[in-house]
Amino acid sequence: MDRIVKPLLELDVSSVAQILDKGIGEENLNLFYKLSLVALRKKIVRIFIENGPDFDTVSSNSYKSIKEIVNLIIKVFPEKNDDVSRFLRSVFIYLFPNPLEKYTKKAIDDMYLIEDVFFRSIVFCGFEEPLKNLIIDKIYDYCSEIVESFSENFEESALEKTTDELDKKLLMFKGRFPSISIEKENLRFRVYNRIVQCRAGQLFEIVTSYPDSKPSLEDLRDACNRTNTHKDVAERAKEIFSGRLLHLGAGTYDIVTQYINAIQAFNIIDPSGGLTRSVSPPIQQYLTTRSDLLSTIVNLILEDSSLMDSGFSAHKPNDDDILRDPSVQAEIDDNWKPEPLHSHIRDLNSLVREGSDSDALALLLNVYGSISSFVSQLEKEISRRVELTPGYLFDAEVKAVELLKKRFGNQIFLNCEVILQDVSDSKRLANRIDDSFLQPLVVSHMYWPEFAGEQFKLPAIVQEQIIEFEENFKTIKTQRRLEWINSAGIVEIELSFEDGESMIFCVPPITASTILLLNNQNEISIEDVVESLGISNQGAESALSYWTKSNVLIKNNDLFKMSPTKPVTSEVYNDETKNAEEECEEEDDECSKRIKMADKFAPFAKTVLASRPKEVFTIQSFYSLLVRFVRGNDFKITEEEFIKLIPVWIDKGMVSVDGETVTLVKPI
């Protein structure tokens, strides 16, 4: 054995090989193996001392110096292959506590460019697996950066782009690490989790961008299905929507529209409706505190019938108001999707399928438990629109009622049908009588909601026209008689001024009757109005107040008289901005656009100011708050553009500005 010690310690491979060929005896093999490891360690330490603390240099020089002796050892002891590799790794870790530190700072593409000599030396020194794991982590980090790059891009699929890049990177390193393909599914799982983390945190922005954000929702759907994270997404969604939407600064209209968007968006993530059912309770509970909820829903339906396009019926199986149409039930059965068992958002109630789980209108109406209150509000809203809108064009209302009938049945909408039918009949009646002074709306009183307002005596000039109209009516409708409701409706009246100018107003009948009293006298008082029209002092004061605010009447002590000239500014009859817009259009298109923009965002501005009465807002802080608050309503204007809206709101008496401080003037 003594003859082999010296060449072994000197790593003389040829001498050691010759000695081994002659044989050293079975009893000396174990000693030979231990001496080999000692020789290897001494050689690596010597190279480290000579070359300094650079892992690449020491490992590559060691690879060149000890490769042959290592191969010889493994040839003699093939079962020791892994042990030798671990031994070499332990020596290098002793010398270099973090041997791959240099590579942790490299980008993934730079890792691919590692020179073969260094790569072979790293593998030889036992760091193939750590290097592979480092590359796998870098591939994930690279994919994670791609996902994050889509943080403000909801119109493209982050998942598709990321998985494509993942496959490319794995293929790039397959030549050096054949086993890296095994990691593909694990990496995909990590990417899916990353998609869930990022997209779930952006749910509010994604919902406000719907339907353009559909690719993002599909990403979240696929990621949730692969990672079983439906419950996490539901909890995150409840947290986000409670903080961003359910507060006093948000108007009911905005909450409802965002809720509708959320339902449609959540149905993409979870077609079974489980996610929607999980997130809905806090939103529905908050909506019950809003007194204008029903009217908001009705207005949405009448203005945009697409609300009724999602879902099939707004009734639960136990609703007794009406029966669901068999064809509708069949369609529900065909389209129903079971809730994922892995979603973890199931409960006992979710085991009973409801046709309204993914139905936006149904979930809104379920706040009230029944559609009866909704139908009642619908009747009031349609009658109000008919009463206060000149003309007979109500196509949107007719379309909305027809769509509602398809979903709920005909009978419960009988009153709405009669109201709209009365409009059509009144239009035909007006064409036959052809009275330029009177175009009354003839209603079937048993089917209309009660009309509010104080009854009064009409001026003589109007009463004469009514008598003439009644005579014509009798010749057409011999079996019916008219009962006039003086307080209801709207009157279009043209006022002429001494300067030869005129102006048209649309006002309630009592307001029009008040100004007509000046046809026979130059001045009137509150007492004159009360006596002539038979109304209360409050009613007279209200009517006169409208005309004084419009600068049509001039008040002198207790008497009111017509302005001799057409008012320069006025409360416009049916739109606060119409006159301002007309003047602006003559001067400048930009001014008109500014007024329209101011009108668009005025409700949000008023809501924000009214909900924070104790806060002091500068123009800048007011703008910053609106940017956050009106995010779902395209408040995409610069601060400079916003400043130009302030004078419009000041002119309308909505806000006042003292220095830099903005204050609400006109109450909501």
C-alpha distances out from residue 20 to 14, 27, 272, Å: 10, 13, 73
Q: Give the model's pLDDT for residue 298.
A: 79
Mean local confidence (pLDDT), 241-268? 84
Beta bridge partners of 657: 662
Mean pLDDT of the chain: 80
CA 126 to CA 124: how far, in whole Å?
A: 5
Q: Give the model's pLDDT for residue 368.
A: 67
Question: How far out from the chain centre does Cα 374 lie?
Answer: 25
Beta bridge partners of 507: 491
Each residue's pLDDT tens digit, 562-594: 999 888 644 433 434 344 444 444 445 667 777
CA 360 to CA 261: how far, in whole Å?
A: 8
Q: Give the model's pLDDT for residue 619.
A: 77
Pairing of strands 617-618, 491-496: unpaired
Beta bridge partners of 555: 560
What is the pLDDT confidence band of residue 195, given thresholds at 50, 70 and 90?
A: very high
3-class secondary structure, 503? strand
10 Å Cβ neighbour count for 349?
8
Look at 321 and 612; give whichever has higher pLDDT: 612
Lowest mean pLDDT segment, chosen from 237-246, 248-257, 274-283, 454-463:
248-257
537 has pLDDT over 80: yes
Which is nearest to 618 in space by CA: 583, 651, 557, 663? 663
Q: For residues 189, 193, 196 and 199, what is the CA-based torsion angle, rounded to 10 degrees? A: -100
Mean local confidence (pLDDT), 468-494? 85
pTM for the complete prediction? 0.62
Q: Give the model's pLDDT for residue 312.
A: 36
305 has pLDDT over 70: no
Q: Give the model's pLDDT for residue 662.
A: 78
Look at 295 and 327; give whichever has higher pLDDT: 295
Mean local confidence (pLDDT), 471-477? 86
Tell me the three-class secondary structure of 437-463, residue by residue. CCCCCCCCCCCCCCCCCCCCCCCHHHH
- For each of the domains in the chain, give its residue range(s) and CATH number, in order of start: 2-126 (no CATH), 374-450 (no CATH), 451-574 (3.30.230.130), 578-664 (1.10.10)
Structure-token pair, residue 349: 């109630």
Each residue's pLDDT tens digit, 353-406: 344 455 677 777 777 666 787 888 888 888 888 887 777 778 878 888 888 888
What is the pLDDT confidence band of residue 131, given thresholds at 50, 70 and 90?
A: very high
C-alpha distances out from residue 160 to 150, 169, 206, 266, Å: 12, 15, 17, 20
Lowest mean pLDDT segment, chosen from 357-361, 418-422, 505-509:
357-361
Which range, 249-263, 329-343, 618-632, 633-647, is most confident? 249-263
3-class secondary structure, 336? coil
Pairing of strands 553-556, 502-507: unpaired
H-only helix segments in 410-533: 414-433, 460-476, 509-516, 526-533
Percentage of residues in the chain having pLDDT higher than 90:
18
Look at 600 and 146; give whichever has higher pLDDT: 146
Position 107, amino acid:
A
Each residue's pLDDT tens digit, 509-526: 899 999 999 988 889 999
Each residue's pLDDT tens digit, 219-235: 999 999 999 999 899 99
Look at 642 and 413; give whichever has higher pLDDT: 413
Question: How far out from the chain centre does Cα 203 lie?
Answer: 7
Lowest mean pLDDT segment, chosen from 12-26, 220-234, 270-284, 510-524:
12-26
C-alpha distances out from residue 169 to 103, 118, 160, 175, 512, Å: 17, 20, 15, 11, 78
What is the pLDDT confidence band of residue 343, given thresholds at 50, 70 and 90?
A: very low
Q: Give the model's pLDDT for residue 403.
A: 82
The single-letter DSSP state of residue 323 is P
Question: How far out from the chain centre does Cα 658 lie?
Answer: 35
Mean local confidence (pLDDT), 451-461? 83
550 has pLDDT over 60: yes
Which is nearest to 625 in space by CA: 617, 636, 637? 617
- Show contacts of 574-580: CB within 8 Å, 24+ apart: 574/506, 576/652, 577/652, 580/648, 580/651
Q: Give the model's pLDDT for residue 320.
A: 34
Q: Give the model's pLDDT for residue 134.
A: 93
302 has pLDDT over 80: no
Which is nearest to 289 in space by CA: 188, 374, 367? 367
Q: Give the model's pLDDT for residue 102.
A: 87
Residues in CB range of 357: below 8 A, 6 or more apart: 272, 273, 274, 276, 277
Q: Give the model's pLDDT for residue 192.
A: 95
Cβ burial, residue 305 (10 Å; 0-12/13-18/19+): middle
